[in-house]
A = this chain, B = another copy of it.
Amino acid sequence: MAAEKEITQINVDLSCDLRCEGCEKFYDCDRPEKQDMYRQGRMKLAKERISRIKKKLVVVGGKGGVGKSILCCNIAAGLAMKGRTVSVLDQNFDGPVVHKMLGMEGKKLGMTEHGIEPAVGVLDIQGITMGCVLEEDEVLTWFHDLRRNATEEFLCHVNYGERDYLLTDIPAGTSSDTVNILQYIPEADGVVVVTIPSDVSQGVAHKAIVVCQKANLPILGVVENMSGFVCPTCGEQSEPYQTGGGEKLAKDMGVEFLGKIPLDKKISISTQEGDPFVHKFPDIEASKNLMKIIDRIEEKIGWGK
């Protein structure tokens, strides 16, 4: 066999051309020039546009299908049930689902002299999502620049008005869509990390936390979703996935464990009907746990203070 050495990086070009906005190494770079982008152009405009929104939260998970969108929509609904005015920005351009989960299916974003008007769903929650732009058969194959354009549009040209909360649902991955939104809302109040109990999910969620830490955002804590399943026949709880992953992740990363949301068929039903479970089924364990998590989030970000 030929002499072999281990590969520790793949041959991709990482040279610097001082175009910070589009740089893959943005958060690993300490050149002072990169701060200039926050003081000018569309980033400044975005900051002004969302300046009348009191609190900004980001929901991440790194891995797909762990329930980021469901929990983001249900945190939005839980906050609205507490009397807050809430907007949800769906950063998932390829496979948007927020419009379905918040009862906005079939509605479209509007355009007026004040800019893009959000769609409005259950509990008067505003939704800004490609799900209210595209038809079912329309597929986006945008690479980085167009994705950044779309993020800019959704922040710079939407007529949010005065709101209590902006929640951003970030899709799987740690690259384009994650970096774009973190760059545009550098003063977000905190990050909620969603994971499921399985071991492989933790490794990916770990990477998502690292990116948010690089962006200097406070990590509010970890929520473990799909945590156990209560059999509708015998009532016994079992674990379709491994357990305890969320608590382990939180401990490893030195962040708070916010709580568990068990698997429940009612979650799936409420999602399909476009009415968040915390609103439609307030008495199930998932809803009770989530309201406690929301209380804790508001406490941590200093709501009302």
Contacts and interface: CB of A to CB of B under 8 A. Distances in A.
The copy count of this chain in the complex is: 2
A109 interface: yes
Contacts of A257: none
Contacts of A236: 231, 233-234
Interface stretch (A46-54, A169-177, A185-193): A169-177
A30 interface: no
Interface stretch (A113-121, A275-283, A292-300): A113-121
Nearest to A237: B233
Interface stretch (A80-88, A160-168, A239-247): A239-247
Interface of A is mostly: loop
Given A204-B97, A239-B265, A176 B174 contact: no
Given A130-B10, A272-B242, A139 B207 contact: yes
A145 B265 CA distance: 41
A143 to B, nearest CB: 4
A69 B278 CA distance: 31
Interface residues of A, number: 96
Interface in A129-149: 130, 132-133, 136-137, 139-147, 149
Interface of A: 1-14, 22, 24-27, 62-66, 69, 93-95, 97, 100-101, 108-114, 116-117, 130, 132-133, 136-137, 139-147, 149-150, 153-154, 157, 171-176, 178-179, 196, 198-200, 203-204, 206-207, 210-211, 214, 229, 231-234, 236, 238-242, 263-265, 268-269, 271-272
